[in-house]
Amino acid sequence: MITNVNDIPISDAESIVMQVLWQHSPRTAEEVLSALAGEQGWAFSTVKTLLNRLLRKGAVVAERDGRRFLYAPKLSREDWLQQQSTGLLDRLFDGRVAPLVAHFCQHRKLSPGDIAELRKLIEGMDDEQ
């Protein structure tokens, strides 16, 4: 049983629905489907299934509005990003950031802006210690 909203496992498909809700909420299932129009090609029943899964997991809340429900995220995007990034670091890089950055440096071209931003972040960390 999940005791903390920050520990909710979100599938890739569910994360797409969450992105829509994080952008604007509350939304009806129809509004979620409309926001995804052309992106996923999902049927209304697929969106309803995903919303119901997220509801059972506690990632979203639903409020009755007449004959429909309005859905809103309970799990914040920031908490989900933290969960995802920590999981990635733990699974692939033994929880260490330096090997992750080294991997990206070796396999993807970092722009001068990326490098400057990384330097600024590191310098800011040095100031905090």
Same domain, yes or no, for 47 and 33?
A: yes
Specify whether the CB–CB gap between 111 and 105 falls below 8 A: no
Same domain for 58 and 95?
no
| Residue 4 within any structural domain of the chain | no
Beta bridge partners of 73: 60
The pTM score is 0.75
Spatial distance between the Cα atoms of 75 and 26, rounded to a whole number of angstroms: 13
Q: Is residue 60 part of a domain?
A: yes
Domain harbouring 30, CATH code: 1.10.10.10
Q: Which domain holds residue 51?
A: 9-73
- CA dist 92 and 94 (Å) reads 6
* pLDDT computed for residue 4 by the predictor: 54
Residue with tokens 């496992």: 9
The answer on 26 and 62 residing in a single domain is yes
CATH code, domain with 123: 1.10.4040
Same domain, 17 and 68: yes
Instruction: Report yes or no on 102 lying in a domain.
Output: yes
pLDDT, residue 102, reads: 84
pLDDT, averaged across the chain? 87
Task: Report pLDDT digits (tens) over 9-59.
Answer: 899 999 999 999 999 999 999 999 999 987 788 999 999 999 999 999 999
49 & 13 share domain:
yes
pLDDT above 80 (res 2)? no
How many domains does the structure of the chain reveal?
A: 2
Q: Are residues 69 and 92 in the same domain?
A: no
Q: Are residues 90 and 42 located together in one domain of the fold?
A: no
Same domain as 117, residue 63 = no
